[in-house]
Amino acid sequence: MVLLRVRMFTMGLLIGFYLLMPEASARPANPSTEAAQAMQPAIDRVEQFQMQLIASPVMGLLSAEQLEALSPYLSNPLLTRLRAASLAQKAITQRSQTPEPPLIQGALFYLLFEGASGLVHVRSEDSGSSVLVTLEYMAQPNDPSPVRWTDRVLLATENKQPVIDDIQYLGQWDFSRQGMLTEQLDLVIAAGQ
């Protein structure tokens, strides 16, 4: 009986020492969990950007006030393009014979002309440099069949903060905006020259 108690005590000590050793208590890292945690600041930032856009929709190119409000979320190259596109559109409007030149109209940051009325989901992609944003548009409150789509938001890092560098419109239906946000802006800039 004494021998059994000594063995149990010794076994308890060995287990206790094993659990206290750093190598033994450290669990192997789950790469997908670490990647998700690393992307969380970017996901949060994109969610904040989307919520601000939904609360204060941007139709066409941004006004100076809208650009100021959204600038913390956008990369410097994208901000430069947005400013250049606004200047180009003003120049085109001034020299145009028609009251409304066919430039960027509708919700600039969305593939749907009307924009988004709700954010459904933001999730990271495996690359770690983009997120997929699922949005919806309801023509009226409690619309039983809202239009839903997913766009890709490309990210950059500036001042140790994730920022939006471009948006890829992924809709594949008639009248949806196609391609990239920067391509749309570049078309306006080129037309203004």
| pLDDT, tens digit, 9 for 90 and up, residues 122-144 | 999 877 799 999 999 998 888 88
Of 74, 38, 36, give the one whose Cα is nearest residue 53. Answer: 74
Report the pLDDT averaged over residues 18-27.
46
Residue 118's domain spans which residues?
Answer: 30-191
Q: Is the pLDDT of residue 11 over 70?
A: no
What pTM did the predictor assign?
0.78
Confidence of residue 37 (pLDDT cuts 50, 70, 90): confident
Give the relative orientation of helices 76-95 and 181-191 as an angle to the nearest 10 degrees: 40
- Range ranked top by mean pLDDT from 4-8, 139-143, 147-151: 147-151
Q: Report CA dihedral (177, 180, 182, 186) to the nearest 10 degrees.
A: -60
Q: How far apart are CA 162 and CA 75, in angstroms?
A: 9
CB-side exposure of 61: number of CA atoms within 13 Å?
Answer: 26
User: Average pLDDT, whole number, for the chain?
Assistant: 82
Question: Does 14 reside within a domain?
Answer: no
Question: Does 130 reside within a domain?
Answer: yes
Q: Is the pLDDT of residue 92 over 60?
A: yes
Q: How far apart are CA 121 and CA 111, in angstroms?
A: 16
Question: Does 7 reside within a domain?
Answer: no
**Helices and strands (H, E) in the chain, number of each type:** 6, 5
Question: Does 112 reside within a domain?
Answer: yes
SS3 70: helix
Q: Is the pLDDT of residue 10 over 80?
A: no
Question: Does 18 reside within a domain?
Answer: no
- Contacts of residue 71, defined as CB under 8 A and 6 or more positions apart, other chains included, come to 79
Low-confidence winner among 38-42, 101-105, 157-161 (lowest mean pLDDT): 101-105
Report the pLDDT averaged over residues 77-103.
83
Q: Is the pLDDT of residue 49 over 80?
A: yes
Question: Does 41 reside within a domain?
Answer: yes
Question: Does 15 reside within a domain?
Answer: no
Q: Is the pLDDT of residue 3 over 60?
A: no
Q: How many domains does the chain have?
A: 1
Question: Does 23 reside within a domain?
Answer: no
The CATH number of the domain where 85 resides is what?
3.10.450
Q: How far apart are CA 53 and CA 47, in angstroms?
A: 10
Q: Is the pLDDT of residue 23 over 80?
A: no
Confidence of residue 33 (pLDDT cuts 50, 70, 90): low
